[in-house]
Amino acid sequence: MACNKTIYRKTAYIATAVLAFLCGVAVHFVYEKLLSETSILQAEIPSASEEREANWHKLFEAAMMTGDTAIQQDMTGRFQCMGADYRLDARLIFTDAEAYCVGTDGRISLPGFRITTKDEFRMLLKTHASWALDNLSFVAEVGTADKAKAYVYAHRP
């Protein structure tokens, strides 16, 4: 009888260990499934900076597609005064002697110095061609000068 109690206890311990292991495996799979779904959702939602960069590319593309020199010069000036976070919250102002940026907050700075580095702006211009190839649907959407002008007027700050 004592032998049966020992076997029963060992069997109960083993069954408890196996059950605990299986519960751990189940929790792990559920956690991984939820975590992977969350990371997939996060990958689909662009950050604010990525969204502003995409908007910059759209505005730049539309401005260049207008064929209107005045719009192109105005937007190029705004791009030169763009902040490091792609915010177009300043305008380029020319005087007899120099050019400077005036922000919506009244701050004055030299063109290109609101961007982290001038090289970053050059790099942004270089990446624009590949952005345009990856976003041909947008290019087609503003495919005429009139549509491009309408886009610029609707979206420029």
Euclidean distance between the first and final Cα of the chain, in Å? 88
Same domain, 61 and 31: no
Q: What is the pLDDT of residue 152?
A: 93
Pick 54 or 24 by higher pLDDT. 54
Same domain, 56 and 106: yes
Same domain, 29 and 71: no
Same domain, 105 and 59: yes
pLDDT tier for residue 145 given thresholds of 50, 70 and 90:
very high
Q: What is the pLDDT of residue 66?
A: 93
Same domain, 142 and 91: yes
**Domain total in the chain:** 2
pLDDT tops 80 at residue 139: yes
Same domain, 76 and 106: yes
Residue type, 67: G
Residue type, 73: Q
In which domain, by residue range, is 17 found? Answer: 1-45
Provide the percentage of residues in the chain whose pLDDT is more than 70: 64
What letters, b where the CB count within 10 A reaches 16 and e where it falls short, cover 52-70?
Answer: bbeebbbbbbbbbbbebee
Residue type, 149: K
Same domain, 33 and 77: no
Q: For residues 62-72, give the mean pLDDT.
A: 92
Who's near 85: CB < 8 A, 6+ residues apart?
Answer: 49, 52
Q: Which among 132, 144, 137 is positioned nearest to 61, based on CA atoms?
A: 132
Q: What is the pLDDT of residue 93?
A: 82
Same domain, 130 and 77: yes
Same domain, 41 and 69: no
Pick 68 or 85 by higher pLDDT. 68
pLDDT tops 60 at residue 109: yes
Same domain, 143 and 84: yes
The answer to whether 154 and 58 have CB atoms below 8 angstroms apart is: no
Same domain, 76 and 150: yes
Share the mean pLDDT of the chain.
Answer: 76
Q: What is the pLDDT of residue 154?
A: 93
